[in-house]
Amino acid sequence: MTESKTARGRTQSAEAGVRALAGALSAIRSPESEFVWVSRAVAPAVAHYVEAIATSGVESACWMTRWDVEHGLDRAQWPLLPGREAFDADLDFLATVFCEVMDSRSVRARIDVTTQTTCPRFHVDNVRARLLRTYRGPGTEYLEGRCAERGRLGPGSGGLADEQSGLIRDVAGVHRIPTLAVAVLKGKRWPDGRSHGAIHRSPAMPPGAGARVMVAIDVH
């Protein structure tokens, strides 16, 4: 039996997948939530594509694109390697889910490939919300707001490292989002004045681990 397709060409089961993940991630709307993440596997073709990028000799790259409900994803930038069609489909899926969660019609996406620790200091993003997924390498670290002294963020650190500045009131509040998990984090522009945004940073890169591949999708 062949599944019928929606106007965007997705099967009914794919649409059900969008609704299921969007429903789980919608917990971010709670005033008490600064971040939420859901474990999710990737198709073998996606994993193959990500590994192909990481082993292609690319040590640092940043590809930007947009997604909207009318036109889908602009796929013009990242490498044409085996598995790219599956990777594109996964990005389309994540953008669709995020727009569903945020009641938006368009998002901006960034694909980062790096062997360095790009954002080593805890910070809050200057967006309404951000979806993160690390496909390869260690996941993003976050600090629970109840365990943070927010006045020590940025210039308030006095130039000291996060572990010495007084920002981290309780190290038990530092966590890492699992690799492949889909996470949504509130930013500074979240409309609910009771939230100040999720505090997070890039993880330290293990020596010799190869490139970290991550996607960030923003609603401004």
pLDDT tens digit sequence for 39-65: 999 999 999 999 999 988 888 899 999
Arithmetic mean of pLDDT, 123-146: 96
Closest alpha carbon to 114 in 42, 204, 47: 204
Residue 32: DSSP 8-state: T
Q: What is the mean pLDDT of residues 22-37?
A: 95
How would you class 182 by CB atoms within 10 Å of its CB: exposed for 0-12, middle for 13-18, buried for 19 or more?
A: buried
Could you tell me where the DSSP H helices lie in the chain? 12-25, 44-54, 84-102, 162-165
Region 183-201 average pLDDT: 92
pLDDT at 208: 84
The mean pLDDT of 86-103, rounded to a whole number, is 96
The pTM of this model reads 0.91
Q: What is the CA radius of gyration of the chain?
A: 18
* 12, pLDDT greater than 60: yes
Q: What percent of the chain has pLDDT over 90?
A: 77
Specify the amino acid at residue 49.
Y
- Residue 183 CA to residue 46 CA, distance in Å, equals 18
2 pLDDT tier (thresholds 50, 70, 90): very low
Q: How confident is the model at residue 193 (pLDDT cuts 50, 70, 90)?
A: confident
Domains of the chain and CATH, by start: 12-219 (2.60.120.620)
User: What is the pLDDT at residue 8?
Assistant: 57
With 70 as the cut, is the pLDDT of residue 9 above it? no
Decide if pLDDT at 103 tops 80. yes
CA distances to 7, 88, 110, 215 from 50, rounded to whole Å, are 29, 11, 15, 11
Q: Is the pLDDT reported for residue 1 higher than 60?
A: no
> Percentage of the chain surpassing pLDDT 70?
95
Predicted confidence band of residue 132 (pLDDT cuts 50, 70, 90): very high
